[in-house]
Amino acid sequence: MTSPPDTLPVLTFGDGPRLAVAVHGITASAMQWPAVARLLGPGWTLVAPDLRGRGAAAGLPAGSGLHDHARDVCALVRDRGAGRAVLVGHSMGAYVALLAAVAEPDLFDRVVLVDGGLPLPAPPAGTDVDAVLAATLGPAIARLSATFASEQDYLDFFRAHPALAADWNDDVAAYVRYDLTGEPGALRSRVVGEAVRTDGRDVLERAGEFGAAWDALTVPAVLLRAPLGLMGQPPGMLGEDAVADARRRRPDIPVETLDGANHYTIVFADRFAARVAEAVAAG
C-alpha cells in the first residue's frame, strides 16, 4: 500500500466495479471493515482510509476536526476516478460521512450511517468537554496512554471488553493487531490521543452544524443503529430522543435498529455486518 506523503493511506478489499468508501470511528482504524467488505460480495471494491492520527495515518499532519476528515474523504473519492461511491461511516465516521456528503453530494450515490451521524444535544455552556469525552469513551481513551508487554497482552485486553467478549472473532483480532506499535515490553496503540480529543471536542461542540447537515443532506441515506452502547449494555450511543428528533426532521431517511447489536459488533459480527453490507449494496 503506497500513498503520496499527505494523502490518506487506505486498505482496499475486493476488486469489483462498484465502489464503497468506509470511514472508521474515533479510536478505530481502517481494519474495522473486513467483515462488511467480505459480505458485500465480488461485485464491490471497499476502500477504507485510516483517518489522520490513526493506523497508518498516525504520522500525517494533524487536522483540526471533522471538516478536515470530510475534505480528506472527498479528495480520496475524487482521486479514485471511479465515479460516484457509496459512503459508509461508523460512529465518528458517520459524522464525517454526513459532512462529506453535504459538502460534495455529486461524489456519492448513497450514504450509510452506522451508529452515528444524528444531531446530538450540545453540552451546556461551561461544560468541561474533555471530562465528558473521558466519561463517554472511557476505556477506549484510557488504552491510548497504556503500554503492553506483548501482542498477546493487547489481545487479552480487548478480549476482556464486555462489548467484544461474546463475539470475539478473527476480524476483531486482526483489528487489534493492526492497531499495535512500539517495541516488545512497551507496545501501545497507534491512535494519537490528541487527535481523538480534537475530534471528540468537535463532535460535542459543533452539534448545531451536524443538525444543519442532517437537514441539508440530499444524497439518499439510511441510518443503522445499535441499541447497546460502548460497554455492550443499554443505552446505545444514539438515544431515543435523538432518534425521534431525527425522524421528525427527516422522515425520508430510514432509521433502523439492529436488535442485539452493540456499538462495536454492528460492524464486527457477521450477523450485523451483513445488514450494513446490504444497506451499502441496496439500489
Concatenated DSSP letters for 144-176? GG--BSSHHHHHHHHHT-TTTGGG--HHHHHHH
The domain segmentation of the chain, as residue ranges, is 10-124+206-281
For all residues of the chain together, what is the average pLDDT?
93
The pLDDT of 78-91, averaged and rounded, is 91
CB 249 within 8 A of CB 157: no
- Is 70 exceeded by the pLDDT of residue 125? yes
- At 5 the pLDDT is 41
- CA 237: distance to chain centroid? 13
Q: Which residue has the higher pLDDT, 62 or 116?
A: 116
- Is 50 exceeded by the pLDDT of residue 3? no
- At 283 the pLDDT is 65
202 vs 207: CA distance, rounded Å: 8
- At 4 the pLDDT is 39
Task: For 10-124+206-281, give the CATH class.
Answer: alpha beta
The pLDDT of 62-71, averaged and rounded, is 93
CB 29 within 8 A of CB 55: yes
Q: What is the pLDDT of residues 202-212, one digit of tens each?
A: 998 888 899 99
Q: Which residue has the higher pLDDT, 119 or 11?
A: 11
Q: Which residue has the higher pLDDT, 270 or 6?
A: 270
The pLDDT of 157-176, averaged and rounded, is 97
> CB 44: neighbour CB atoms within 10 A?
21
- At 124 the pLDDT is 81
- Is 60 exceeded by the pLDDT of residue 2? no
What does pTM read for this prediction? 0.95
